[in-house]
Amino acid sequence: MGTSTKIVIIGGVAGGASAAAKARRTNEQAEIVLFERGPHVSFANCGLPYYVGGEITDRDSLLLQDATRFWNRFRVRVCTRHEVTAIDVATKRVEVKVLDTGEIFWETYDKLILAPGAGAVVPPWPGLPAPNAFTVKTVPDSDAIRQWIDGQKPQRAVVIGAGFIGLETAEALHRRGLHVTVVEAQQQILPIFDREMAELVERHVQHQGVDLVLGDPIAGFAPVSSLEKAQPGVIGQVLFRSGRVLETDMVILSVGVRPELFLAKQAGLAIGSENGIVVDEFQRTSNPDIYAAGDAVEVTELVTGRKQRIPLAGPANKQGRVAGDHAAGGTLQFAGALGTAIVEVLGITAAKTGLSAREAAAAGLKFQVTQTHPMDHASYYPGAEQMHIELVVEEGTARLLGGQIVGTKGVDKRIDVLATALYGRMTVHDLENLDLAYAPQFSSAKDPVILAGFVAANVARHEMVTISCAQLRTKMQDVQPIQLIDVRTVGEFQGGHLPGAISIPIDELRNRLGEIDPKLATVVYCKVGLRGYLAARILAQSGFGDVRNLTGGLMICPDGAAEKSAMTSA
């Protein structure tokens, strides 16, 4: 039997609602009160772009819980449209403002849980705010976008920010019939991905009719529009630092989120180097009677052990569960997160877990990168589609550090296998020995994850030395000469090849070794990496000392070659 502890929770959605439900399951006698300044205690914010696009037609399906159901099921007193404006840690009280009436009152607590989340970033660009500039963070945000589309009939939209929400919203607007341009200040979409993997998605998105503007930051907006008569101040032009101007009828701002730290700072709680609330494994803050969960906290990134903010729904729910349990007298702990995430846009899926190559380098790790392009299931069974897998592997230990996958089918279950392997601190030798389910309509005898493990393990055993596309780009600019050998067929070579490469098809290589200088550094390549691997093995065992295979082949590094479609079959 639990004690009559009074638990006050600030904020609903993922962290706060999970905390409230778990606190009740842990302690039936506790008094639990939840204050949420918005109109909804719990809603599916990850589903908002699909509500905008019309895939989700029932608005109420986004509302996961309401105050009445929370009381009936959990005996949690939920107060929406109630904003907590101050915390008095000395007297253990919170100041609450009723937004609909302006009334202010104080509520006492024994244990306090902060789940303030993170708000959408709206930069101070000239021209904002505007009636047709929207964020996509709450249900009212999505309502406003739909109302604008239904009422004003816009033809063009600019989405600023090419992260997950930005791309999902771009797809939603594209499906609604708008001409969409996605703008990203960085040189690639999906900034958390490595460039070669992001480029696969870029080519697909452009092929589907969505325009991209990359590496050109926003300067502001101009209120010039055919729709301006309907409402003053409407944005009609997007202005760029380069001088470029885009005409538009609406703007979506998806440039990131900022943790809500006002209450935490006001209460004197410790804030970490990543600008998040510091918590321990029980989600306790620096004040032992105050817990925190969700997008505003720092968590342990499980690959490096470093503290990071990982604003994703999965970690937020688990953190809320732990905070609610411990505040109510339980013993649950939160180990940390890998940042596993997945997005689908216009028929292509991209997923990531653990570290990218760029993140591994920033962490000071020594690593190798391998890329493979298997089919999602047996190629002889109808409907097989190609996917692209990148593994980041620690040198010396062969420990898996991270993985990224791009494809049209089967990406979700493979990234989850990699995430599980990361959590278990597996090596790529473990990957190549996994025993996964196989039938031709589901996979291949060599599952894509196992095949990726084969390739990475070959590198770890020094059976092959690889070079990534980024490394090759740098090496081709060095003063030291290298010889590039294209081992595809003559027809493939004539269709496009890397600058300076010579053509020696793999089946002719043994008879033409005399055409290659064994004293020079040699890079071999093909389309996906398999023939390059065979060529590298032949050369390495024929007296060639410095031979590297271009991992992933021209499909991941199409510079100067003809392979321009991300989904071309092998």
Does 124 fall in a domain?
no
Nearest alpha carbon to residue 454 among 394, 374, 517: 374
pLDDT of residue 508: 96
CA angle 251, 254, 257 (to 5 degrees): 145
Are 415 and 502 within one domain?
Answer: no
CA–CA distance from 272 to each of 81, 87, 287, 364, 438 (Å)? Answer: 30, 20, 14, 21, 46
Distance, in Å, from the CA atom of 478 to the CA atom of 118, rounded to the nearest integer, reads 45
Does 332 fall in a domain?
no
Are 419 and 481 within one domain?
Answer: no
How much is the average pLDDT of 58-87? 87
Using the predicted structure, report yes or no on whether residue 121 has a pLDDT greater than 80. Answer: yes
Rounded to the nearest integer, the mean pLDDT of the chain is 92
Using the predicted structure, report yes or no on whether residue 2 has a pLDDT greater than 70. Answer: no
Does 338 fall in a domain?
no
Q: For residue 133, list its beta bridge partners.
A: 251
Q: What is the DSSP string of 380-435?
A: TSTT--BEEEEEEEETTT-BEEEEEEEESSSHHHHHHHHHHHHHTT-BHHHHHT--
pLDDT band with cut points at 50, 70 and 90 for residue 226:
low
> Looking at per-residue confidence, does 270 or 562 come out higher?
270
Q: Evaluate whether 537 touches 459 at the Cβ level (below 8 Å).
A: no
Using the predicted structure, report yes or no on whether residue 509 has a pLDDT greater than 60. Answer: yes
Are 521 and 487 within one domain?
Answer: yes
Using the predicted structure, report yes or no on whether residue 564 has a pLDDT greater than 90. Answer: no
Are 145 and 216 within one domain?
Answer: yes
Does 316 fall in a domain?
yes
How much is the average pLDDT of 412-435? 97
Are 184 and 106 within one domain?
Answer: no
Q: Structure tokens of 287?
A: 């004040």
Give the domain CATH number at 508: 3.40.250.10
Using the predicted structure, report yes or no on whether residue 559 has a pLDDT greater than 70. Answer: no
Give the domain CATH number at 17: 3.50.50.60
Does 318 fall in a domain?
yes
Q: Which domain holds residue 519?
A: 466-556
Q: Is 359 helix (H, G, I), strand (E, B) or coil?
A: helix
Our count of domains for the chain comes to 4
Are 206 and 273 within one domain?
Answer: no
Nearest alpha carbon to residue 515 among 525, 526, 505: 505
Per-residue pLDDT tens over the stretch 6-60: 999 999 888 999 999 999 999 999 999 999 998 887 767 788 888 788 888 777 6
Does 379 fall in a domain?
yes
State which of 203, 234, 255 marks the end of a domain: 255
Distance, in Å, from the CA atom of 270 to the CA atom of 448, rounded to the nearest integer, reads 44
Are 241 and 264 within one domain?
Answer: no
Are 193 and 216 within one domain?
Answer: yes
* Cβ count near 248 (within 10 Å): 27
Does 14 fall in a domain?
yes
Are 262 and 250 within one domain?
Answer: no
State which of 460, 481, 500 marks the end of a domain: 460
13-26 vs 67-74: helix crossing angle, rounded to 10: 20
Q: What is the DSSP string of 154-184?
A: -SEEEEE--SHHHHHHHHHHHHTT-EEEEEE
Using the predicted structure, report yes or no on whether residue 511 has a pLDDT greater than 90. Answer: yes
pLDDT of residue 64: 66
Per-residue pLDDT tens over the stretch 300-320: 999 999 999 999 999 999 999
Are 483 and 445 within one domain?
Answer: no
Strand (E) or helix (H) holding 118: strand 118-120
Are 378 and 482 within one domain?
Answer: no
Q: Evaluate whether 283 touches 323 at the Cβ level (below 8 Å).
A: yes
pLDDT of residue 230: 55
Per-residue pLDDT tens over the stretch 328-384: 999 999 999 999 999 999 999 999 999 999 999 999 999 999 999 999 999 999 999
Nearest alpha carbon to residue 63 among 98, 32, 15, 17: 17
Are 251 and 137 within one domain?
Answer: yes
pLDDT band with cut points at 50, 70 and 90 for residue 137:
confident
